[in-house]
Amino acid sequence: MQSQTLELRDIHQSVAPGFWPPAVGWWWLAAAIGLLMGLLWWRARRRRRYRQALLQLFDETLARAADNPAKVAAISGLLRRAARRHGNAADTLEGEAWLALLNQDLADAPFTGELAALLQQGGFRPEVDAQQLQALQQVAKRRFLLWMGARP
């Protein structure tokens, strides 16, 4: 009979934990995301600096050339230098094989016609047209960057 006289108290729920400070797992996740973002930023910066160094090398090499035929010869030398990264004997190719290698993986096959003739013979000509040289320079710079592993 004594159970009828007992007064029971209600069960009180404890206060729900606040959202701050977050649990340790959230701290680890934030650190991992921060580390990943830092790594991506570092890689992008490194690639950008590498690309800028390649562009500077290309432009300085052409600036050292005395005249337009010398610039064509410098462009040919830079492309052959970059071709060594493409394959062991790639820089020793000549004629159509060299042009085929230059056009490889390029959708528009720019090293054909006048540009191909200019690249092969322009270094030996007494005069080279400035517009043709400019067109060759743009196409060669794109190929040079691709072979050296940078995006054009």
**What pLDDT was estimated at residue 44?**
96
Q: What pLDDT digit, counting tens, does each position of 43-76 carry?
A: 999 999 999 999 999 999 999 998 999 999 999 9
Angle at 17 between CA 16 and CA 22, to 5 degrees: 150
Q: What pLDDT digit, counting tens, does each position of 81-138 carry?
A: 999 988 778 888 899 999 999 998 888 899 999 999 999 998 888 899 999 999 999 9
Q: What pLDDT digit, counting tens, does each position of 18-51 carry?
A: 888 888 999 999 999 999 999 999 999 999 999 9
| Reported pTM | 0.78
Name the amino acid, one letter, at 61. Answer: T
Distance, in Å, from the CA atom of 65 to the CA atom of 75, rounded to the nearest integer, reads 10
**What pLDDT was estimated at residue 69?**
94
Instruction: Tell me how crowded residue 33 is: count the other CB atoms within 10 A of its CB.
Output: 10
Distance, in Å, from the CA atom of 46 to the CA atom of 86, rounded to the nearest integer, reads 21
**What pLDDT was estimated at residue 14?**
87
Q: How far does Cα 22 stand from its chain's mean position? A: 39
Distance, in Å, from the CA atom of 60 to the CA atom of 58, rounded to the nearest integer, reads 6
**What pLDDT was estimated at residue 143?**
94
* Cβ atoms of residues 62 and 71 within 8 Å: yes
